[in-house]
Amino acid sequence: MKLIFIRHGDPDYEKDSLTEKGWREAEILAKRVATWDIKQIYCSPLGRAKDTCSLSLKATGRKAIICEWLQEFYYRVWDEAVQEWTIAWDFYPRDFNYRDDFHDRNLWAQTEIMKTGDIAKHADDVCRSFDQLLEKQGYKRNDKGYYDVLEHNDDNIVFFCHFGVTALLMGHMIGVAAPAIWQGMMMAPTSITVLGSEERIPGEASFRVQTFADSRHLLEAGEPISQSGYFTKIFEGVFRKYTAGHTVVYGRKTLETFPGQRLLPNRVNVIMSRSYEFEKDGAMILHSASELEDFLALTADDVYLIGGASLYNSLIGLCDKAIITSIKAEFEADCWFPNLDEDPDWELEEEEAPVMSKKGVEFTVRHYRRK
């Protein structure tokens, strides 16, 4: 069985609904949800979750069951350090990281600060209601922290809800203290988290996180990820950050390097090719630098030249800005981008702080402009 948790779209908390951006996110999400084989959809009673869910219900022709216990885990505790009531998961690292009891799945809800808001009872109410739902699906929670399989199934169950309650339920299923997830992880609006049941021993099931906070539907559609709930700037790939929503120009050979030779989404794709026989649905085909110049004279959009090497060398004279990713590593190569540091026609305008890639390679983004 797959349990699919979806956080609501970018929220308008004052109205308990979605912002304009949140509605766009929900619409993009709905197209993804419409491709799934779903047994049942459950939804929080709060407006922002229901609004997000509504577009997926329309896309799938389904109805959702509203569960009161799926509402955000908004219960408050008394924070002695600041002398005020605060959300149970809203701590500073200095108040949380050094506390072993906050990291213990059996003790965190029994800590003194959690007792001020009766958090153990509220958490138990949510988890018990969730387990009752799973038992109806054929998976019964036992006192050892995993589930007895009453009747195996491969169903997909979808929950439209919130980060706080999802983290609580995820910790309940995988045996991790909720504060460790609340403090150490984040789920962007409309992100998708999937837990699957593993039944390696007949009759016994445990749940493992298969996907966490997946927002690729937004990235593929060129919609920036919302920062709602974060206290730092969202990382976005450099290429997508600048080109999404604009025009990209590249050669036919570059197209052949794309997965399935698919056009880049949410962009105007202009392909340079000497062949007048070459066609590509959804793209504009140009055959020379002069044709490109004519196109540039007619468009008010930002236009990005993205390769390959022969186009960089032949068309860089048409560019007035350059965004260069400088990688702190050595690779074998058979072609090179022009060195703008040695070109008197260009000057460095800005150098961003170094960033570490997922594979541990440091890189820096440099912005140049033509003098």
pLDDT tens for 63-86 read: 999 999 999 999 999 887 767 788
Domains and CATH numbers, the chain: 2-220 (3.40.50.1240), 238-370 (3.40.430.10)
Report the predicted TM-score, pTM, of the whole model to 2 decimal places: 0.69
pLDDT tens for 205-229 read: 999 999 999 999 998 888 888 878 7
The whole-angstrom separation of Cα 17 and Cα 52 is: 9
Tokens at residue 108, please?
Answer: 């965190």
Long-range contacts at 269-272 (CB < 8 A, ≥ 24 apart): 270/295, 270/303, 272/311
pLDDT tens for 162-202 read: 999 999 999 999 999 999 999 999 999 999 999 999 999 99
The average pLDDT across 270-280 equals: 95
Query: Is it the case that residue 232 has pLDDT exceeding 70?
Result: no
The whole-angstrom separation of Cα 316 and Cα 322 is: 9
pLDDT tens for 12-40 read: 988 999 999 999 999 999 999 999 999 99
Could you check whether the bond before residue 308 is cis, i.e. omega within 30 degrees of 0? yes
